[in-house]
Amino acid sequence: MSRAAVFPYRLPLKRPWVAAATTLTERRGALLRLTDEDGLEGWGDCAPLPSGGPVEPVIAALEAYCRRPASAEFHVLPPEARWAIETAQADLAAQRAGLPLWRHLGGASGQVMVNAALGPLDDDCAARATAALAQGHAIGKIKVGLDGVDAELARLHALVDATAGKLRLRLDANRAWNGADAARFLQAIAELPIDAVEEPLAQPTAAALAALQAGLPYAIAIDESLPNFGVDALIAARAVRRFVLKPARLGGIAATQAVATKAQAAGIEVVLTSVVDSAVGVAAAAHLAAALSPTLAHGLGTSVWLAADVAAPLPIIAGRMQLPDAPGLGLRLV
């Protein structure tokens, strides 16, 4: 029987994290610690995005579950709380097995390729992209849809020129565009080194996404719209070529494994990502990514945006996150 404790945190960002629907200046959440009868500690991260509603009720639900009677139901908890609980349990299980979590989950390599998190497509983005390329990153992720189409196309071309086309780009519009603007932007970048474009449509339908995807040489990806459509509907419509999975939003390790397995069986790529989570949340997602999708770059290089963290982030060398060989998550909390 494990003892549970919850530790709320507030982590300041070095600079604002800007997306179409929200701007973060700090990251709020809570760590869950499970301690077993042998004194081993398993950790999980519960960090709901403020765009999904107030953070406090989610943390309160996690705290209440930790005080629960045996009859309390796991499946009714908010997904971020379920992710924290499953992560802490998996951390403990891997430690008991004497294995790093990535190997305990079935992974074969302790390295995960990650994209550089370049922030918004502003006037300084080209400089950040050049720095990421110099650090060994092959792919950079950029938030778009924050300015007019023409202005962003001009900045994007300038960025490609600055990096000599050597950095492949993931663009995330966070459902910013109407159909006409999306089609114009996506066709205009068809000859650029684009890895994927996430969530281009403000009001997506499976048919509209499929029509966009059919005419493009790169992947359209679905992230926050995935729960609205459902995995089966998107697969049946052949709507997109990539799913972006946030384990915290999906509700944990098992839920993410289930979606990834179904998607990959249908030929859809799977990328895991975090949203400026603490080092515990990022590490957990990285261990899972190593097991589920070892050949793609994942959106886990966000720790550089935090001015303070709960543990030293996992190192990234030449664009690859180095996972610990120590049992479990392998983190030492500060």
| Integer Cα distance of 321 and 118 in angstroms | 17
Please indicate, yes or no, whether residues 16 and 158 belong to a single structural domain of this protein: no
Please indicate, yes or no, whether residues 57 and 119 belong to a single structural domain of this protein: no
For residue 281, CA distances in Å to 62, 224, 231 come to 15, 18, 24
**Which residues partner with 116 through β-bridges?**
140, 301
| Integer Cα distance of 208 and 113 in angstroms | 31
We report the CATH number of the domain holding residue 221 as 3.20.20.120
Query: Considering 77, 98, 119, which residue would you say is the last residue of a domain?
Result: 98
List average pLDDT for each run of 10 residues in the chain, which is 334 residues long. Answer: 91 84 88 96 94 90 84 84 97 98 97 95 96 96 96 98 98 96 98 98 96 96 92 94 96 97 97 94 98 97 94 96 97 91
Q: What does the pLDDT read at residue 74?
A: 87
Of 173, 258, 262, 254, nearest to 221 (Cα)?
173
**Which residues partner with 269 through β-bridges?**
242
Q: What does the pLDDT read at residue 1?
A: 59
Q: What does the pLDDT read at residue 174?
A: 92
Examine residue 8 and state whether it is found in any structural domain, yes or no. yes
Query: Considering 98, 124, 159, which residue would you say is the last residue of a domain?
Result: 98
Q: What does the pLDDT read at residue 82?
A: 96
For residue 140, CA distances in Å to 60, 110, 120, 163, 197 come to 36, 21, 11, 11, 12
The DSSP string of 71-87 is T--STTS-HHHHHHHHH
Residue ranges of alpha helices (H) inside the chain are: 56-66, 79-97, 101-104, 125-134, 149-162, 179-188, 206-214, 226-229, 231-237, 247-250, 253-265, 279-292
For residue 10, the SS3 value is: strand
Number of domains composing the chain = 2
Please indicate, yes or no, whether residues 24 and 64 belong to a single structural domain of this protein: yes
| Integer Cα distance of 138 and 2 in angstroms | 42
Please indicate, yes or no, whether residues 232 and 130 belong to a single structural domain of this protein: yes
| Integer Cα distance of 43 and 33 in angstroms | 5
Q: What does the pLDDT read at residue 64?
A: 92
Residues with a catalytic annotation lie at: 143, 246
Is-contact 11 35, C-beta < 8 A? no
Paired tokens of 240: 């997109």
Q: What does the pLDDT read at residue 49?
A: 85
Q: What does the pLDDT read at residue 75?
A: 86
According to DSSP, residue 166 is labeled -
Query: Considering 66, 98, 130, which residue would you say is the last residue of a domain?
Result: 98
pTM above 0.75, yes or no: yes
Is-contact 284 44, C-beta < 8 A? yes
H and E: helices and strands count for the chain: 12, 13
| Integer Cα distance of 145 and 327 in angstroms | 42
Residue range of the domain that includes 38:
3-98
The 10 Å Cβ neighbour count of residue 269 is 18
